[in-house]
Structure formats: C-alpha cells, structure tokens
Amino acid sequence: MGSLWAAYLAVLATLRLQFARVAAMALGIAEMVSPPLLKMFSPPLQEALGSDLKHWVPTLITTVINIIAIGFAW
C-alpha cells in the first residue's frame, strides 16, 4: 500500500508540474503578443460592438489571446 501511495503522489506531482509549465509558457506568450494585437484589433472591434460595449474590448481580446496561447502551449 505504501508503494502504491508513493507512486500515486509521484504521478500527481508530475502532472501538476507539467500543467504549471504549460500555463507559464502560455501566459508568457500571451503577454508578448497582447500589446500589438490590442493596438491592431481594438479600433475595429470597438466600432463593431458600439459605444455602450466598448469597455469590453480589451477583455475580449486578451481572453481570446490567452485561450489560443494555452492551446498552442499544450
């Protein structure tokens, strides 16, 4: 039982470490590409959403960038 428990903990620790690596790489990629993409996509998206929803533009863009970066890093 002790060996099974140790093996379980080793697998769990490895999975957590791998996920942390993927998350760190994805957020690093997203942080690098966010400023130019915000400048590029903010004006057309603000026009498309209108004046009452324009405050959501940076949130939408950064969320999409983060999702794509996580998919790329994974």
Span 36-49, pLDDT tens digits: 999 999 999 999 99
- Asked if 58 contacts 38 with a C-beta cutoff of 8 angstroms, the reply is yes
CA 64, distance to chain mean position in Å, is 8
Span 18-71, pLDDT tens digits: 888 888 889 899 999 999 999 999 999 999 999 999 999 999 999 999 999 999
Please give the pLDDT value at position 2.
75
Binned at pLDDT 50, 70 and 90, residue 5 comes out as confident
Alpha helices in the chain (DSSP H): 2-49, 57-73
Q: What single-letter amino acid sits at 66?
A: N
